[in-house]
A and B are shown apart, each in its own frame.
Chain A
Amino acid sequence: MSGARIREAGDSALIVEFDERIDPEVNARTIACAGAIQAAHVAGVRDVVPTYRSVAVYFDPLHTDYDALMTCLEREAASFTSAAAVERAVVRIPVCYGGDLGPDLSGVASFARMTESDVVRIHTAAIYRVFMLGFVPGFAYLGVVDERIAMPRRATPRVRVPSGSVGIAGVQTGVYSAETPGGWQVIGRTPVKPFDAERAEPFLMEAGDSVQFYPIDRVEYDRWT
C-alpha cells in the first residue's frame, strides 16, 4: 500500500487520502486513521469523516492550531496500525425480497442469468463490510457484492425510493435509510430502520461493521412493521 496524501479543501477542511480503490484493507486503514485523529482531540476540530479511502477533517480555522493539526494528520496517516478492529457482532438485517417491495429483483436475475431465488441466495450468503456512511443519515455503503449479481445502477433514477429499500449498485449494496430519489436496483425491503432518532442507539451500523442480510417472507415483514 502506498503512502497517504494530505490536501487542503478550502480554509476549513483537510483531507487525508489513501489509495483510490474499493478495498477492505485500504478502508480499514482509513477508518483506523479517522479514529486516531478523533481520539487526538485537536482543539478546533469539528468533524472527522471517513469515506472509502479518505478522511475529511473539518476544523474552525480561527480556533485551530493549523500546524498542530497537520502534524497530527501526518502522524496518523503514516501510522500503519492496522485497524485494531473492535470485534463487533455481525449486524443481521431481515429482508423481504422481490414483489412490490423489490421491483428490480427480476431485472437483476435477468442480468445475472439466474433465478430470483439464486440472486437472493447470493445476496444473503455474503458478509458485507460497511465501507462508509453517507448520502442520508444512517445510509451505509456495503460491499463487496458478488460480481455475478453486481448490476449497475438504473439508467433513470426513481424519483422516490421508500425507506428500508435494499438496493444494488454494481459491487455496492445498501439500505435506503430515508425516502429519497435513487438509482440503485431495489431487490427487497427491510422493516428495520438504519436510522431512528427515537432509538437508544439511533444508528444501526457504523463504518467498519460487518453486515449480513437474511430473507423473510411478506407475512413476517408485515408483522415487523
Chain B
Amino acid sequence: MDVAEVTSPRGPAVSVIKAGMLTTVQDAGRWGYQARGVPVAGPMDPVSHRLANALVGNVRGAALLEVTLMGPELEFEDERVVAMTGAQFELWLDGRQAPSHTPFVVCAGSRLKFGARQLGARAYLAVSGGIAVPEMLGSRSTHLVSAMGGVGGRALIGGDRLPLGDPSTRGPALGPHDPIAPLQSPASGQPILLMADRQTSGGYPKIATVISADMAVAGQLAPHDTITFAVCTTAEAMKALIAQERVLMAVEDRHS
C-alpha cells in the first residue's frame, strides 16, 4: 500500500492539524525479524503504552501515537474514546482542559490539542479502535532510520489522515512486549542507553542492561535530566516486573 492511501484513507480517520515535534505510530514493536537486521522499534515507555490502550478498551499492543516533547493537534471524524498516559502535558479538547490518565469521549469534529509539557518526555495517546495503518512485517510501529511502518516510515506531518480501526472489535490479549536496554560504554566515557530503536547488533562494549521494569522510567528521560544507576540481581528484576505486571493487569481488568 502506498503512502497516499495511508494518508487519505476512505474509512474513519483522525486528521493531523499540527504534528508536534516527533509524533509516531507505535504498536508493541516489530519482533521476529532481528535476524534480518530489522530493529524492533515500538514504544520507548512500554508501561504507558499499555496503560493508554487499556484505558480505551483496546487490545494490548494496539497501535497508538507516541508524542515526544511537543505534542500534536488532531481532529476526529467520528466519536471515539481516547486516553493520554506517560508524560504530563496540558491537553485541550475543543478549548476545554481534558484529563490525563483517564479515558474521555471525543465527538465527530472535536479537536484535541497538546499544550505545555510539565513532566516526562513521551506521552501516549490511544484512540479506541487503534491506529489502523497497514502492517509492515507484522507491525505498525514506525522506525525512522529504516523508514519502516507507521505513515510511510516517517513521523506524522500536518495534513496526514490516520485510519482508525473498528472500536467494537476486541481481539485476544497479546503478551506484553518490553524491549531490553543494554548500556553501552564508548571510549569517550559517555555511556549510551540503547532503547526501542536500537540496531539489532554491533556497537560498543555493553557493561549492563536496564531491567525490564524500569524501561518505562528510561523512556521518559528528556535532555538535561540526570539519572543514576543501581546494581540489581535478576531475582530483584523479576520481582519488580511481577509487581508492575499486577498493577497493569488490574487496570486492564477494570477497563475490559
Stretch of A41-49, A75-83, A107-115 lying at the B interface: A41-49
How distant is A46 from chain B, measured CB to nearest CB, in Å? 5
Determine the chain B residues whose CB is within 8 A of the CB of A139 once the complex forms: 37
CB-CB < 8 A to A197: which residues of B?
136-137, 148
Residue of A nearest to B37 (CB): A133
For the complex formed, measure the closest distance between the CB of B251 and the CB atoms of chain A, giving whole angstroms. Answer: 16
The number of residues on chain A lying at the interface, defined by a beta carbon within 8 Å of a beta carbon of chain B, is 38
Distance, CA A9 to CA B145, complexed state (A): 25
Beta-carbon contacts of B185-222 to A below 8 Å, as 1s and 0s? Answer: 00000000000000111100010011110000000000
CB atoms of B175 and A49 under 8 A apart: no
Given contacts A63-B175, A178-B147, A202-B137, contact A9 B200 (CB under 8 A): no
Evaluate contact between A10 and B211: CB separation under 8 angstroms. Answer: yes
By a CB distance below 8 angstroms, the chain A residues around B202 are 134-135
Does A203 sit at the interface, judged by CB under 8 A?
yes
Q: How far is the CB of B173 from chain A (nearest CB, A)?
A: 12
What is the chain B residue whose CB lies nearest that of A203?
B36
> Which of A54-62, A88-96, A119-127 contacts the other chain?
A54-62
A137 at the interface (CB under 8 A from B): yes
B146 on interface, CB distance cutoff 8 Å = yes
Chief secondary structure at chain B's binding surface: loop
Contact partners of B137 in chain A: CB under 8 A: 197, 202
B: interface residue count bin: 35 or more
Residue of A nearest to B183 (CB): A10
Instruction: Type the 1/0 row for B44-84, where 1 means its CB is closer than 8 Å to any CB of A.
Output: 00000000000000000000000000000000000000000
Contact flag A137-B32 (CB < 8 Å), given A11-B238, A49-B200: no
Q: Is A173 an interface residue (CB 8 A)?
A: no
Interface check B237, CB cutoff 8 A: yes
Q: From B1, which residue of chain A is reached at the shortest CB distance?
A: A198
Q: Chain A contacts of B39 at CB under 8 A? A: 137
Q: How distant is the Cα of A223 from the Cα of B212 in the complex, in angstroms?
A: 50
16 intermolecular pairs with C-beta atoms under 8 Å apart:
A8-B234, A9-B209, A10-B237, A11-B234, A12-B178, A12-B212, A47-B33, A47-B35, A56-B34, A133-B36, A133-B200, A136-B146, A136-B199, A137-B38, A137-B148, A195-B36
Task: Give the 9 A-B residue pairs with the shortest CB-CB distance, closest first.
Answer: A10-B209, A134-B201, A11-B237, A133-B37, A49-B34, A137-B38, A46-B31, A134-B37, A10-B180
